[in-house]
């Protein structure tokens, strides 16, 4: 469960970085960057080539009652002008999204013991601005919970 470099192929890949800090590259195709709850060790997954509309982040077993909790988190996402980021929380669970240039930093906290940071690099999120509804739509587009 150390720090890994994972390079996808030209087709559609399911890419697990696992625990620790990982460098992930999906290559062409519609790639799934997947994470298990056990991998949420406070580490960082850097995704070098996240492609909006093609690639997704998948959380296999994030919550015991999976989709409803992510729905709650996303429903609570609001712009926080102090941190210049979007934040949503529900109990011990939280999500935040900060967009800087062509880089987005997404932090998902499942509970007080499990969190993971994702850096999506070379992505154009300029259309989001500070519009919380647009950020919710974006997160809905790129996040899947559960393996189904």
8 binds Ca ion (CB under 5 A): yes
55 binds Ca ion (CB under 5 A): no
Stretch that binds Ca ion, among 3-11, 90-98, 109-117, 124-132 (CB under 5 A): 3-11
26 binds Ca ion (CB under 5 A): yes
In eight-state DSSP terms, residue 39 is G
Collapsed DSSP state (helix, strand, coil) of residue 71: helix
User: Out of 6, 20, 21, 27, which residue is the one contacting Ca ion (CB under 5 A)?
Assistant: 27
6 binds Ca ion (CB under 5 A): no
Tell me the CA end-to-end span of the chain in Å, nearest whole number. Answer: 25
> CB 67 → Ca ion: shortest distance, Å?
26
31 binds Ca ion (CB under 5 A): yes
Asked if 110 and 37 count as a contact pair (C-beta separation under 8 A), the reply is yes
Strands 14-16 and 85-90: unpaired
What is the rounded radius of gyration, in angstroms, for the C-alpha atoms of the chain? 14
Collapsed DSSP state (helix, strand, coil) of residue 5: strand
Residue with smaller CB distance to Ca ion, 20 or 29: 29
* Binding-site ranges for Ca ion (CB under 5 A): 8, 13, 26-27, 29, 31
């Amino acid at each position: 469960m150390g720090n890994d470099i994972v390079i996808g192929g030209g087709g559609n890949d399911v890419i697990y970085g696992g625990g620790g800090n990982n460098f992930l590259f999906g290559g062409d195709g519609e790639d799934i960057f997947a994470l298990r709850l056990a991998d949420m060790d406070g580490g960082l997954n850097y995704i070098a080539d996240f492609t909006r509309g093609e690639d997704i982040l998948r959380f296999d077993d994030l919550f015991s009652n999976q989709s409803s909790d992510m729905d709650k988190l996303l429903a609570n996402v609001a712009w926080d002008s102090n941190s210049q980021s979007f934040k949503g929380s529900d109990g011990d669970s939280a999500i935040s999204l900060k967009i800087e240039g062509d880089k987005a930093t997404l932090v998902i906290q499942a509970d007080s013991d499990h969190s993971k940071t994702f850096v999506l690099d070379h992505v154009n999120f300029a259309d989001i601005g500070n519009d919380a509804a647009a950020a919710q739509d974006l997160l809905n587009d790129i996040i899947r919970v559960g393996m189904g």
